[in-house]
Chain A
Amino acid sequence: MTPETTFAIDVQNAVKRYGDFTALKRVSLSIRDNEFFTLLGPSGCGKTTLLRMIAGFEEVTEGAIHLFGDDIVKLPPHKRPINTVFQNYALFPHMTVLENVGFGLEMLGSTKSEARARAGEALDMVQLSQFAARKPSQLSGGQQQRVALARALAPRPKVLLLDEPLSALDLKLRKAMQIELKHLQRDTGITFIFVTHDQEEALTMSDRIAVMSAGEVQQLGDAREIYDRPRNMFVADFIGETNLLEVSVDTVADGQAACHLGGGHRLTCDAVEGIGPGAKVHMSLRPERLTLSSDPTQGDSLKGRVRENIFSGTDISTILDLADGPEFRVRAPNSSRGDRRTFEPGTEVFVNMEQGAARLLMD
């Protein structure tokens, strides 16, 4: 066996066109077995299209999709050992919860009693056994969600696709379901491919994330990587809050890049392959990895004037005007511990950075 065949799903140069519109532009992704993988992006980025191509609901215009080494592009949905949890759940309204969960098994040729038994087990797994005889409409949104999950897991698919399954739930329920989903994935050992536009959800649950935009994968990596080392402007801006500054690279040496920006500010940060001296690029500075002080400390620092402080419960954000520069944001936890201080508007302050807070971006 070649190494490639060990991937659960291997998408190679997949293209999807609707007439003149290209929804996916040559996407390649390798998703490992037993992985919680997330496709993250704003609406219209092509993530749902990609998911539906893996499920078999959309034809692949060009390219290949392999499931554990087998080409599945030509297979209709009912011949793919892949199941989907639909965004609106699509629970069959004329069947009971148990019939819904047993449907896939029955279609695969299980006897009615066998299908029932295994559907019962799947319902146990999501703690809904007592609702087996009800119709879907008699359940709450959260319960319907879990039935949809049990229905998709009951036939033990090789890969489970989840199309924004939590978007219809309220915040508290969503948080609880995020953890439950993560546990289910670990317990069943099934590869999960999860689609969402909610970056926090993606960071919380995923082993790896593919950030998508405009029909392309912008960056692929684990949560830390995506958050701490965004590759380009889109990823830095889409994931979390950040300050984007235009900088010019002066020198690159020993893995460090020295840069300057308007107003005479100078900064050094980790060098990024492909960005050399003389390049004019953007730099991302995460507001929570910055601190304010009244005097410059060792290393780099930016100088600015406090415009206002915004209290948001867990955090306090300070908005500064950099000298001869753009607006800038610094966030500190709402805590009296450590050296955190709040400065009154109008005060001149210095911005200190933690190691690795600044990141150079490709465009």
Chain B
Amino acid sequence: MAGGAATGGSSTSDTYAEARTWLLLPAWVTLGILVLAPVTMMLIYSFLTKEFRGGVIWEFSLSAYDQFFFDRGLFGDDPPRIEWTYIQIFWRSIWQAGAATLLSLVIGFPTAYFIATRAPAQRTFWLFLVTIPYWVNLLIRTVSMKFLLRDQGPLNEALLGIGIISEPLSIVNTNVAVQLGLFYSYLPFMVLPIYAAVERYNFTLSEAAADLYASRWTVLRRILLPSVKPGIIAGCILVFVPSMGSFLAPDLLGGAKNFMIGSLIEEQFKGNAGNWPFGAAASMILLTLVLIILLIFARQQSKAES
């Protein structure tokens, strides 16, 4: 009753306070060894010297970051100019992820809204429908998308059959295919937080606005959207972040011209490039970008709450 946190009915309690060290130990050991230590090691590797065909020589070097940002000519003795190749790849990744996020929002918002305004008993069923594909293997989904979209694929055959187009559309190996693939990969991440926000939304606010002469679409723009904004931002982050570092969709649907960060990094370790410090440096830059985005997001959320 008194003192807030002390209430017996609250869902957080201090029942197991004495055992907390032992309860947390497994998580700290596992994630410490398998996440914290590896990320630290990756940071160290990004400052080491490369060994040809994989691996590193334990000698401090800035050459990985230097190679990322500067072009020093074929023999490395020209005056440094900005190297655009990798920055462009990063820029393309950001752009593609942004386009995929926008696509997810344009389709995901009405979907989430539609589901959240069904009768409560129907909502779980609709949500179930939207989330099932997420439980299907991402690789299989991406391959299926490629199969559907390819030049002689069912989509083109169907469109040709109806007579909407006279020549098959070349979608695979374009930006659009990658965006569709990313959209397909992460759509539920957009729908779920928006759904949660709309479900909490108090529709009396809409009624009050309409009572004060706002039209349906004005209500949407001026009242509903600002109210569910935290859900929309969360959804955008949840789609944008994994899209930026994704590998499967650009690799299978994009082709060589639509190279993204994921493929650039993969090539350093699994492919022909074999430059581990450079791969580690590119990963560090990607991680930094993502953490900055998450930090801005967290800042905004806490501001919205207070």
Contacts and interface: CB of A to CB of B under 8 A. Distances in A.
Do A and B have CB atoms closer than 8 angstroms in the complex?
A: yes
Nearest to B18: A76
Contact of A21 (B3, B8, B9): B3
A43 B1 CA distance: 7
Contact of A48 (B2, B4, B5): B2
B6 interface: yes
B5 A18 contact: yes
A208 interface: no
A122 B115 CA distance: 49
Contacts of A86: 8
A276 B3 CA distance: 39
Interface in A34-77: 43-49, 52, 57-58
A217 to B, nearest CB: 15
A18 B8 contact: no
A87 interface: yes
Contact of B3 (A45, A49, A87, A88): A49
A87 B5 CA distance: 17
Contacts of B5: 18
Interface string B77-102: 00000000000000000000000000
B3 A18 contact: yes
B8 A52 contact: yes
A205 interface: no
B273 to A, nearest CB: 57
Contacts of A46: 1-2
Interface string A1-42: 000000000000000001001010000000000000000000
A44 B8 contact: no
A58 B3 CA distance: 12
Contacts of A45: 2
A57 B5 CA distance: 13
B96 to A, nearest CB: 49
Interface string B1-19: 1111110110000000000
B9 A88 contact: yes
B16 to A, nearest CB: 12
Interface in A130-156: none
Contacts, number: 34
A23 B6 CA distance: 11
Nearest to A47: B1
Interface residues of B, number: 8
Nearest to A21: B3
A21 B2 CA distance: 9
Interface residues of A, number: 18
A87 B9 CA distance: 9
Contacts of A57: 8
A156 B1 CA distance: 28
A215 to B, nearest CB: 8
A121 B9 CA distance: 30
A23 B9 contact: no
Contacts of B6: 18, 23, 49, 52, 58
Contacts of B2: 18, 21, 23, 44-46, 48-49, 215
Among B1, B4, B5, the most chain A Cβ lie within 10 Å of the Cβ of B1
Interface string B50-94: 000000000000000000000000000000000000000000000
A46 B2 CA distance: 6
Nearest to B5: A18
Contacts of A21: 2-3
A148 to B, nearest CB: 14
B3 to A, nearest CB: 4
Nearest to A46: B2
Contacts of A18: 2-6
A49 B8 contact: no
A52 B3 CA distance: 13
A47 B1 CA distance: 8
Nearest to A76: B18
B245 to A, nearest CB: 43
Contacts of B3: 18, 21, 23, 49
A86 B6 CA distance: 15
Contacts of B1: 43-44, 46-49
Contacts of A163: 8
Nearest to A55: B8
A47 B8 CA distance: 13
A21 B8 CA distance: 18
Contacts of A58: 6
A46 B87 CA distance: 64
A230 to B, nearest CB: 23
A52 B7 CA distance: 10
Contacts of A215: 2
Contacts of B4: 18
- The 8 A-B pairs at the shortest CB distance, nearest first, are namely A18-B3, A48-B1, A23-B2, A49-B2, A23-B3, A44-B2, A21-B3, A46-B2
Given A44-B1, A44-B2, A57-B8, 14 more contacts: A18-B5, A23-B2, A46-B1, A46-B2, A48-B1, A48-B2, A49-B2, A49-B3, A52-B6, A58-B6, A86-B8, A87-B8, A87-B9, A163-B8
Interface of B: 1-6, 8-9
7 contacts: A18-B5, A43-B1, A44-B1, A46-B2, A47-B1, A48-B2, A215-B2
